[in-house]
Amino acid sequence: MSTPALVRPRPVHRASDLLAAYLPGSFYYSSGRGSLLADGVHSCVRARPGARAHAAAEALDAAALAGLADPVVVGALGFRPDAESSLVVPAVVRRAGAPDGAGARPPGEPVPGHTDWAVTPRPEPEGYADGVRRALDLIGTGEVSKVVLARCLELTAGAPVAVPSLLARLVRADPAAHAFAVDVTAPGDQATRTLVGASPELLVARRGAMVVANPLAGSLPRCADEAENRGRVAALLASEKDRREHAHVAAQVGEVLGRFCTEVTVPGEPEVIGTPTMWHLSSRITGRLADPADPASSSLALAEALHPTPAVCGVPAAGARDAIAELEPEDRGYYSGLVGWTGPDGDGEWVVTIRSAEVCERTVRLHAGAGIVAGSDPAAELAETSAKFRTLLRALGLEDAA
């Protein structure tokens, strides 16, 4: 199937214009299927976990009744069910085709122009490797079979970080990524907080009765040497440990979609996809919804049912969540949650919030994680998180900070 187009009914803007028009406070989202820029707040969607799709459908009905042109719910949900969330019906929505990467800002523009970054890893790299060992101990007892363990880098610049430039550089570096910038400022915050990133992982997209999910798990860093990269792709495909790590995710995504669908297709074998910084095992899973008109099958409802997949949490989910709470010193906040949009017909697109950062004035908080299963090597998992940080670090002009 073709995945949902963001372009409805016909784009009247250029993708580069939308990117250039982005300012903190707006919602920006682009992927290989189109771009969306949303401004202002018509209404906020506030509901407890599990009730959000219903609340979103109600907010969209109310917005349509109020005469809002092109109502859509956009925003982000955090990793934990009780984490912060930011879902709104914006006042104005502009759509365009997929970004071409040229952007409106000159290539090579230094994002914030900072050279005086202070970098604080949480935990220290050795502390992360210890956490991996403790996760392996838990796996050894049989309590869990997979735990995704993340770490955080807190970067502080000498002056406020320019989010529009950071976003433009992320889009230019990988126009096919799911790039986003979401205002996540909460009541009581002293300054604007923005969640920004370029996720390679589609949680779920829905168009009419057709749904697609594209979980990733099992990774190796990409390098500059093409022959070496060919070897890494072959090694990833042949790795029993990575295939096991991936199989957990593909099976669960297929099972969850099966609750909503009359048919689901899970490929028998993963393939490898590349980003500018990583190689990942990938499964493109498709399904046909039993009742697409039911609001309980909207893209947001599907996304909430799928979240958290074992790509960012683990197996079984409850035990992995406990292990994460015990082993990670920093709360994940929005990292490893979901970002996207859903429309009045239930169509929409939600991605996993990875390769992301939260920016607040001079501070940028980055997270990256790796799936730990029996056979994981702490040093390799640490290196994997360092490689995953590179998406954001490159865009910040800070490649070697991890």
Task: Cite the active site residues.
Answer: 146, 201
Nearer to ligand ISJ, 26 or 376 (CB): 376
Q: Which is nearer to ligand ISJ, 218 or 340 (CB)?
A: 218
Q: Does 149 bind ligand ISJ (CB under 6 A)?
A: no
Q: Shortest gap between Cβ of 384 and ligand ISJ (angstroms)?
A: 7
Residue 219 sits in the site that holds ligand ISJ (CB under 6 A): yes
Q: Which residue in the set 368, 373, 382, 402 belongs to the binding site for ligand ISJ (CB under 6 A)?
A: 368
Residues 324, 340: Cα–Cα separation, whole Å: 24
Query: Which span (51-59, 119-127, 151-159, 212-220) binds ligand ISJ, by CB under 6 A?
Result: 212-220
Task: Tell the smallest beta-carbon distance from residue 146 to ligand ISJ (Å).
Answer: 9
Task: Return the beta strands (E) in 190-299 as ranges.
Answer: 193-199, 202-207, 210-214, 216-221, 261-265, 271-274, 278-282, 285-289
Q: Is the CB of 355 or the CB of 394 nearer to ligand ISJ?
A: 355
Cα distances from 19 to residues 1, 4, 101, 123, in angstroms, run: 28, 20, 10, 34
Tokens representing residue 65 in the block: 């009744």
Residues 33, 11: Cα–Cα separation, whole Å: 12
Looking at residues 78 to 117 of the shown chain, list those that interact with ligand ISJ (rule: CB under 6 A): none
Pick the closer one to ligand ISJ by CB: 40 or 375. Answer: 375
Query: Which of residues 308, 319, 371, 397 is near ligand ISJ by CB under 6 A?
Result: 371
Measure the N-to-C terminal CA separation of the chain; round to a whole number of Å: 39
Distance, CA of 320 to chain centre: 19
Query: Does the protein bind ligand ISJ through residue 19 (CB under 6 A)?
Result: no
Nearer of residues 135 and 354 to ligand ISJ, judged by Cβ: 354
Q: How far is the CB of 190 from ligand ISJ (least distance, A)?
A: 28
Q: Is residue 34 at the binding interface for ligand ISJ, with CB under 6 A as the rule?
A: no
Residue 65 C-alpha from the chain's centroid? 32
CA pair distance 109, 24, nearest whole angstrom? 18
Q: Smallest distance, Å, CB 81 to ligand ISJ?
A: 18
Residue with tokens 């790039």: 179
Q: Is residue 390 a contact residue for ligand ISJ (CB under 6 A)?
A: no
Alpha helices in 142-187, H assignment, sequence order: 163-173
Q: Which segments of 91-247 are extended strands (E)?
A: 92-96, 118-122, 146-156, 178-183, 193-199, 202-207, 210-214, 216-221
Residue 353 CA, chain-centre distance (Å), reads 2
Helix 299-306 and helix 52-65, axial crossing angle in degrees, nearest 10: 160
Site string for ligand ISJ, 295-314 (x = CB under 6 A): ----------------xx--
Compare residues 193 and 388 and give the one whose CB is closer to ligand ISJ: 388
What residues between 322 and 361 interact with ligand ISJ by CB under 6 A? 354-355
Q: How far apart are CA 4 and CA 36, in angstroms?
A: 13
Asked if residues 28 and 20 have their Cβ atoms less than 8 Å apart, the reply is: no
Binding flag, residue 218, ligand ISJ (CB under 6 A)? yes
Rounded to the nearest 10°, the torsion over CA 53, 182, 204, 242 is: -130
Does position 178 bind ligand ISJ by CB under 6 A?
no
Could you tell me which stretch among 34-42, 78-86, 94-102, 366-374 binds ligand ISJ (CB under 6 A)? Answer: 366-374
Q: Does 369 bind ligand ISJ (CB under 6 A)?
A: yes
Spatial separation of the C-alpha atoms in residues 30 and 175, rounded to whole Å: 8
Q: How far is the CB of 321 from ligand ISJ (least distance, A)?
A: 14
Is residue 217 involved in binding ligand ISJ (CB under 6 A)?
yes
- Tell me the C-alpha distance between 222 and 38, whole Å: 34
Q: Is residue 388 part of the contact set for ligand ISJ (CB under 6 A)?
A: yes
Binding mask 274-293 for ligand ISJ (x = CB under 6 A): ------x-------------
Q: For ligand ISJ, give the closer residue by CB, 196 or 354.
A: 354
Q: Tell me how many residues contact ligand ISJ (CB under 6 A).
A: 17
**349 vs 16, 127, 138, 201, CA distance in Å?**
21, 36, 35, 11
Q: Write out the residues near ligand ISJ by the rule CB under 6 A.
A: 148, 150, 201, 216-219, 280, 311-312, 354-355, 368-371, 388
